[in-house]
Chains A and B, each alone.
Chain A
Amino acid sequence: MRRRVLLGLAPLVLYLGALTLAPVVSTLVLSLRHPEGGWGLGAFRAIAGHYQFAEAVVNTLAITGISLALEFCLGLVAALSLAGRFRAQGVVRVLLLLPLGVPTIVAAAAMRYVFGTVGYLNELLYRLGLLSLPIDWTGSRGLALLTVAVADAWKVTPLVMLILLAGLQAIPREVYEAARTDGAGPWQQFVWITLPLLRPALTLALIVRGVDAFRIFALPLALVGRNLPVLSTYAYVEYLEYGNPYTAAASSTILLLLILFTVGAYLRLAGPEEVLR
């Protein structure tokens, strides 16, 4: 019995050990190696002096912040509007979920049409009389960050919506009924019942989405290009363009530490029972 269990688990565990853990550890080790041999923080010192790396750190954090703010506002509004029963609910739900399945690179292509200088957002704003000259959405760094964050939020808001919808459905109706008998209005119910009871779902969505946003790669690369480095694309360019595995490894390691720190903080805050439900 024991042996059969171990035998069943072995292929998966060995596979992940060999092709996931071993590579991640070897990248970590590489970031601490010197090109001429020996150990040291040379690679980290090199990227610390590289202005594009500083930009990559700030860009990664900024995109994560803006994108999370957007998708949580939209996801919460969507989940609240979808809760309860109404006509055409099923259809609306399926349509709102659609962007989740769309491949990231396709999302990037579609967003080019939206945010292009002669694109459709500029045209829409022009027709609404809000704009006389077209805006270059990827021209300045601030706007480019916003564009990438909106594109990211577009794709993943449905995921946040799904998690929050599951959280909403887990709140017992009786709690609201009790609150109403005590004279609580809709706003009070939202602040004092919905938000606190939604907390586990909110933290879970926050962690899953936060870690994904830290790792963002295709959208900044395909929408803006090299001018908007993030931690992932910085590592990619260092390795594949400049052929420098050491600085690439150092940048990957910074990203790894950022993620481990976030997940660790979450596990401490939530406790493993809440993570695994």
Chain B
Amino acid sequence: MRAARALVLGVLLLFALGPMYLLVKVSLSPPAEVMTAHPTLLPHGITWQHWQRVLGSGQLAAPLRKSLTVASGVALGALLLVAPAAYSLVQLPPRWRYGVLLGLFLCRMLPEVSLAMPIAVVFLRWGLLDTDVGLVLAHLTLVLPVTAWVLTTTFGTLPRDVEEAAALDGCGPLRTLVFIVLPLALPGLVVAALLAWLFSWEEFILATYLTLGEKTLPLQVYYYLYQGNWFVTAVAATVMTLPVLGLSALLQRYLRETPLAGVTR
């Protein structure tokens, strides 16, 4: 039984990690090791030439800046829009709350291509095409349902009697929110912001529709992929994955501290 489990998990681990291993390996391999009829599975020589070439070319700086800005804007915007809504939502009677959550669930299911075309047409008119603000506004539409879901659960689990005690001690609603509720909800807020950030960081469809010249990082990786240089693609893709790994680790830590584990699917 134990051996069977070890075998199954071993195969699954190979499947899960193999492609990521190849990505890093290709980015560090001498071309002769990869571009042959029989590439080597294990790394033999290691070279930083592809990394130097990509980072030295300066082609990655602008996409990196744009993606960082947009993702941070999306995380911030999601919190500002969703925190008050989620805080209000938990005060509604359950029937209404479930109705709104079901509506949000349905919003998450709509096809992006249906959204993207009218948004692109309107943004063209408003001069928002190819801007950071435009992409933040567009990405928010995809992120809001999930963050609302997370924060509603967070606020739903906060003990109400703490707020009532604060009110008895003469704390106004706004002061209660800022000094009592928000600190208690901090882990949930962090999870929501991280999810929004990660979602925007990798978003591809809306970025494709709303970008003319100034690419985001995913579009830059797609561009390299389209050109067909394996090494350059591998470097750019690895650069794009590094912050994701760091933030995912952070996310998992916060998830363990909050009763949210079931919500963030």
Contacts and interface: CB of A to CB of B under 8 A. Distances in A.
A105 B202 contact: yes
B221 interface: yes
B129 interface: no
Given A5-B91, A12-B85, A110-B22, A101 B118 contact: no
Contacts of B61: none
Interface residues of A, number: 93
Contact of A108 (B16, B26, B225): B225
Contact of B114 (A15, A27, A92): A27
Please report whether the interface of chain B is mostly helix, strand, loop or mixed according to DSSP: helix
Contact of A113 (B23, B173, B226): B23
Given A12-B81, A109-B233, A113-B22, A235 B202 contact: no
A107 interface: yes
Interface stretch (B51-59, B184-192, B241-249): B241-249
A276 B98 contact: yes
B167 interface: no
Nearest to A186: B1
B106 interface: yes
B265 A96 contact: no
A8 B252 contact: no
Interface residues of B, number: 83
Given A114-B22, A249-B114, 14 more contacts: A19-B119, A23-B116, A28-B114, A86-B2, A97-B248, A108-B225, A110-B237, A154-B16, A158-B16, A159-B265, A215-B111, A222-B222, A222-B225, A255-B113
Given A109-B233, A114-B19, A245-B117, A103 B5 contact: no
A114 to B, nearest CB: 6
A277 B98 CA distance: 10
A108 B4 CA distance: 31
B46 interface: no
Nearest to B8: A81
Interface of B: 2, 5, 8-9, 12-13, 15-20, 22-23, 26, 35-39, 41, 81-82, 84-85, 87-89, 91-92, 98, 100-102, 104-107, 109-119, 121, 137-138, 140-141, 144-145, 148, 173, 198, 201-202, 204-205, 208-209, 218, 221-222, 225-226, 230, 233-234, 237, 240-241, 244-245, 248, 252, 261-262, 265
Given A123-B38, A208-B265, A276-B101, A110 B12 contact: no
A124 B204 CA distance: 31
A101 B198 contact: yes
Nearest to A118: B37
A217 B112 contact: yes
B98 A272 contact: yes
A47 B3 CA distance: 54
Contact of B23 (A13, A26, A110): A110
A234 to B, nearest CB: 9
Contact of A23 (B39, B118, B208): B118
Contacts of A104: 202, 204, 218
A95 interface: yes
B205 A232 contact: yes
Given A19-B119, A86-B5, A24 B209 contact: no
